[in-house]
Chain A
Amino acid sequence: MILSGALLILFFALCFTGIALAVVLPQRHGSFALAVVASLAAAAITGLGGIVLLSGNSFQCPLWTIPELGTLSLSIDRLSALFLVSAGAVFLAASVFSNAYMQRYVGHYSLRSFSILYYALLLSVTLVLITGDVLAFLIAWEAMAILSYLLVNYEHEREKNIYAGWLMLALSEMGTMAAAFSLLLLANHAHSMSFAGFRGAFHDFGPGMRWAIFLLSFFGFGVKAGLVPFSVWLPRAHPAATANISAVLSGVILNLGLYGIVRVNLDFLPISLPGPGLVVLIVGSVSALIGILYATVENDLKTMLAHSSIENMGLITAALGAGFVFAVDGHTVIASIAFVAALYQMTNHSLYKSLLFLGAGTVDMRAGQRNMDKLGGLMKFMPWTALFLLVGALAISALPPFNGFVSEWLILQSLLRSVELNSIAIGTVFAFCAAALALTAGLVITCFTKAFSMIFLGLPRSPQVEEASEATPSMTVPMGVLAVLCLVLGVAPTWVIPVLDGALAPYAVSGATQALVPPFLNPATPGLPPDFVHDFHDLGAQIGAGIVPASGLVVLHRGGARNPVVFAMSTAYMLVVLVLLLAIVFAVVRFWLARGRTAVRRPLWAGGIQQLRPEMTYTATGYSSPVSVIFNAILHPGAAPETREVIYEHFRTEIRRGDREESHILDRLIFTPLAQGAMAIGNLCAKMHNGKLNTYVTYVLIVLLAVLLIR
């Protein structure tokens, strides 16, 4: 408690010191100061969150009382601590990265204002997570929304960025309003502004009120989380933002939306109807599928990552939705598995997506190019960045032994447990959603093999790429640390799951640890047949159990007596086996097959062509074009404008094809009709104003009559 308080004070002190330094120091030292102070501050909140998360002791601290509005207070429980830790980790990496990265803006844009905004964002994000009452929460939330808008709009001299910022701000404000309204409704009913006062105060809510609160809050926070259909701001905001802000945007800000959803629907007003849960599940699945489809066909690296963030947010939301439905149906253990999976995926996404965004920034900075069609062959010039981005790509593609695999596997497994549900209709929805998510998982691999191979393999497709060189350690080290974290979270799920489960402990949906990481070394464990326990014991499933209590290296889901194990999985063993197999293959080849022979490197074979040129190698567009053909109905790429230049009637000199006019399915189905409708109403109103006096007199008369009639 005392340490937590000290860390919190240290954090605030560091932030204000940072702001002061930014004002005082000359610009050229600005980025170094930013990196040092901001990373210390981020480390402080990571430590604070870590202490709360591991110790399990909530941190409570009333600040001061405002008459009429109640007491402002700080409160960190394990749930907010989890978000705090992942936010802190991302901020830490992004801050260190900023040192070298922000140099490129020195002289163009004000580093001073960037630093101040950055600290302010760090402060506001922390406050959103640690406030314990509605008023402070809303203030912090609004500050966070505006600050992230300002930071995304940092390169304000680009026309496109301004538009992206506006869209982001407009949607964000709509969301804030809805969220504020729902929270105020709750506060009104609970007669308390404090979150603590919300708990258990809404037993008497009817379904109508519950739906209203749910829809308002889900919309409000869903906009921030980038869920379909209000995800449109995300792919536009990311390319505009700088790399470190992109990392924070995807790794932290989106999570805050999830935080809101979890907080309201799990803590304040636990969902007690299946409907809202299904809505969450469906919205999540659709987000995932649409997100990954657009990511796969996108060629701008950062826009692609933004679409992929939508996909990940969709996955997490789908898992949350499944959890809500299971919880309502009474399957608290499965619900808790789904929630653990969601929180796991969220943590993972923060790590690998910020890693990928930092990598994208590095590539953009060193190769001067973000378009995957123009990149290529960077592995030779930037080996470390390539290695770390490869880890990020493998992790996001959910390939073992990296972290994405564990969480995505848990999500799909929990969805498959829909067989336990009583309603066939709900089961059907689950089946469709599971299918959508499985398709998503497949497309992710296409998407990221494309990204990695088009950026790092092959031949450089533009001249700047050939001049690229490896980034400085202050850029690669944060990526390296994030990559290592991806591996650690991947091979140690049995250590992570109890922690995540602990974050859910206060709510009626915990118990995943008991189901997933059972202490069955002890033959007295109830629920498992002894011979089975014996077998698994021999297999070494409990290796490591002595280090962290109740944790072996195998995740296995314990079912009932008849079906003792639903599934079992161990990424740690996978890693060991993988390394072992590679070692064996290497040894066999090196010491047996190739004994006494020397390896000869044969030149590249390209059909005997004199020199393979970069314009003869596959491009990103080419790689993803089968996907765009198959999903033509959804992607609906407009015909590319084509002009054919011909001389002497028969010599083609140029076939020029423009960019395809891509209309996002959401724009097409929702926003364009909405905008057109709004314009139509506006035009109608404009027509009423014809400027003639007698018309206005008529309007007044009509209104008068109407008022009289109503009276």
Chain B
Amino acid sequence: MLADVLREAEMRWPGNLYNRVDARSGEIECAPEAVSEICGWLFSEREYIFACLIAEERSPDWELRYVWYGAGDDGVIHVVARQPVAEQTFASLIGRVHAVDWSEREAEDLFGLVFQGHPRLGDFVLHDDRWNREVTPMRKQVDANAPLVRLLPEREWRPLLVLNAPGGFAMPIGPVYSGVTESALFLLETQGEDVIRCVPRLFYKYRALEKLAEGRTAAYALLLAERCNGTSAFAHSLAFCQAAEKIGGVNVPSRARALRILLAELERFRHHTAAIREICESTGLAVGASEAAILEEELLRLSCQYTGHRYLFGLNTIGGLTRDFEIGPCLQTLEMAQSILRRLERLEQRLRRTNTFVDRIEEVGSVSPQDAREFGLVGPIARASGVARDLRKMQPYSGYENFSFNVPQEQAGDGYARLRVLFAEARQAVGLIEQAVSALPLGPIRAETAHLAPGAALGWVEAPRGAAFHWLRLADDLTVERYHLATPSFLNWNGFHLATENFSFQDFPIILATFGLSMAENDR
């Protein structure tokens, strides 16, 4: 219970502000020194899950907001600390909560904050071989449109390698590699045959999306939210809209809420089909990959035929949807989705019976439940490692609480478990589409009035790859003051190296495919 947690926290650390914002969310305002202890307690004793770290430069103060969530009544807790802008040093949480690792590194790179005690700061979002360490693009005084002063890096970049062995070396893969792939650099540390460790170097595609949103209208920022990742555009636009709707107190009509679920699940279905195709491709199973690709293309055409866009762009708007769907197209969509699902299930049967395929993904890239929890993994990857985290269940939105579905879960944590989760979720998604279509309420698809107000709110969705959080703060003139996205790829890339310890080199594409993460979603 949220109330109990807040009360207990107040008893332990008196003198801080404990606000209960609404039934499902609370805020703890405390001194920067106390953050670490409170968060550590939330994480290890109350089993809250780390969502995101939001750093804001709100003159004259820094505002650091660690967001935590639990299931149901536990709600969402923001732990907020403030200190003057001139004071850039905060204590790192890294000793107590490992999941904050990358969030702190990101804030360090973008704002120039220093997290004392964090062992790996620098060369994260902003690459050291590109920019001087003084560059801090997210600071308010930096102009979003003027190119950053390209200060030359003061020293040569050397990769941070941990392998110290005779004849050890790091085989670089990327940033441009192997066909149609997103850009990232992987350094495979090896002595020759087996790869001992692999750490990705991301953010080659850093587009400063959060910075671009600042000073623009919420409607414009919605375009950015949608395009943070094209393959899960609807989920992200939904999270953004929910944040904006919360700020404005907009009541989304029930028909729009149900249609949003329909579309979100359609997107999930298509995303998982694509992920299955990639896994088949990575093992060299050409026929399986082609069959999945056929289904993927049919889903893309289906989306385009009924919504106008193959990737569901331009559908969400603050307050509802931009267009309505007749019951006919809805039923046809359902019918098509069900027929595609049947073919996908046949593919699943064949894959399960193909030993050469199963042997290649079984016991490959394993992540233990313990690690999944410690590193704060989300989505199908966490669920394949026995950590059943799903925001649709834990903190329902858009009416998911009225739908009956369960969260598929596997214990093995290997590549095959992740594949099984993908299949199960694809099935689940079609089931949800069916429920949405069968009980589609009548009414408008857009709130009559969608006036926004100054303020801040957090919106979240369970995107196809996992939990996504969008933090939106509107200024008095209703322009965006701060926009922050915590994406599932960002949370999960942090744990990628867990699956890439001591594996053989030819398994690398398979591990990559079974993780199915997006660089665009991570880099933003």
Binding site for B on A (CB under 8 A): 299, 373, 606-613, 615-626, 629, 640, 647-659
Contact = CB atoms under 8 A, between A and B. Distances in A.
Nearest to B199: A652
Given A616-B169, A622-B169, A622-B191, A657 B164 contact: yes
B159 A616 contact: yes
Given A607-B173, A607-B175, A648-B119, A299 B167 contact: yes
Interface string B192-209: 110011000000000000
Given A648-B98, A648-B119, A653-B162, 5 more contacts: A615-B161, A615-B170, A621-B168, A654-B162, A658-B166
Given A613-B159, A650-B375, A659-B166, A625 B177 contact: no
B34 interface: no
Nearest to B117: A648
A616 B162 contact: no
Given A607-B173, A609-B174, A651 B119 contact: yes
Nearest to B92: A648
7 contacts: A610-B127, A615-B158, A625-B191, A648-B94, A652-B197, A655-B163, A657-B163
A649 B373 CA distance: 14
Nearest to B178: A607
A658 to B, nearest CB: 8
Nearest to B502: A655
Given A299-B166, A656-B164, A650 B374 contact: yes
A657 B191 contact: yes
B162 to A, nearest CB: 5
B304 interface: no
Nearest to A609: B172
Nearest to A619: B167
A647 B164 contact: no
B129 A373 contact: no
Nearest to B171: A616
Given A616-B171, A622-B190, A610 B130 contact: yes
Contact of B165 (A299, A612, A648, A655): A655
A484 B167 CA distance: 34
Given A611-B157, A615-B161, A657 B168 contact: yes
Nearest to B94: A648
Contacts of A373: 166-167
B167 A655 contact: no
Nearest to A660: B166
Contacts of B159: 613, 615-616
Contacts of B167: 299, 373, 619-622
Contacts of B165: 640, 655-658
Contact of A647 (B119, B129, B193): B119
B176 interface: yes
A649 B166 CA distance: 26
Nearest to A624: B192
B118 to A, nearest CB: 9
Nearest to B204: A608
Nearest to A614: B169
Contacts of A623: 192
Contacts, number: 106
Contacts of B58: none
By Cβ-Cβ distance, the 10 closest A-B pairs, closest first, are A621-B167, A625-B192, A657-B165, A622-B192, A608-B176, A619-B167, A373-B167, A625-B193, A616-B172, A650-B98
Nearest to B495: A650
A655 B185 contact: no
A386 B129 CA distance: 33
A625 B185 CA distance: 24
A47 to B, nearest CB: 46
B156 interface: yes
B120 interface: yes
Contacts of A622: 167, 169, 190-192
Main SS at interface, chain B:
loop
Contacts of B156: 611
Given A619-B169, A651-B120, A613 B162 contact: no
B95 interface: yes
B157 to A, nearest CB: 7
B192 A626 contact: yes
A655 B166 contact: no
Interface string B85-129: 000000000110010010000000000000000011000000101
A548 to B, nearest CB: 49
B169 A617 contact: yes
B374 to A, nearest CB: 7
A5 B172 CA distance: 66
Contacts of B177: 607
A661 to B, nearest CB: 12
Contacts of A619: 167-169, 191-192
Interface string B142-164: 00000000000000111101111
Contacts of A658: 165-166
Contacts of B161: 615
Contacts of A659: 166
Nearest to A652: B162
Nearest to B371: A650
B419 interface: no
A536 B78 CA distance: 94
B193 to A, nearest CB: 5
A592 to B, nearest CB: 34
Nearest to A626: B193
A624 B167 CA distance: 10
B187 interface: yes
Nearest to B99: A650
A652 to B, nearest CB: 5
Contacts of A656: 164-165
B164 A655 contact: yes
A626 B190 CA distance: 13
Contacts of A609: 172, 174-175, 185
A653 B119 contact: yes
Contacts of A617: 169
Nearest to A612: B172
Contacts of B173: 607
A640 B194 CA distance: 14
Contacts of B168: 619, 621, 657
Contacts of B158: 613, 615
Contacts of A610: 127, 129-130, 157
A625 B168 CA distance: 11
A299 B168 CA distance: 12
B121 to A, nearest CB: 12
Contacts of B163: 655, 657
Contacts of B187: 616
A554 to B, nearest CB: 43
A654 to B, nearest CB: 5
A615 B170 CA distance: 6
A339 B211 CA distance: 81
A655 B196 contact: yes
A456 to B, nearest CB: 17
A387 B127 CA distance: 40
Contacts of A621: 166-168, 191-192
A622 B161 CA distance: 16
Interface string B178-193: 0000010101011111
A347 to B, nearest CB: 35
Nearest to A606: B172
B205 to A, nearest CB: 13
A647 B117 CA distance: 11
Interface in B400-418: none
Given A299-B166, A648-B119, A653-B119, A607 B174 contact: yes
Interface string B308-340: 000000000000000000000000000000000
Contacts of A640: 165
A659 B166 CA distance: 6
B500 to A, nearest CB: 12
Contact of B193 (A618, A629, A648): A629
B190 to A, nearest CB: 7
Contacts of B98: 648-650
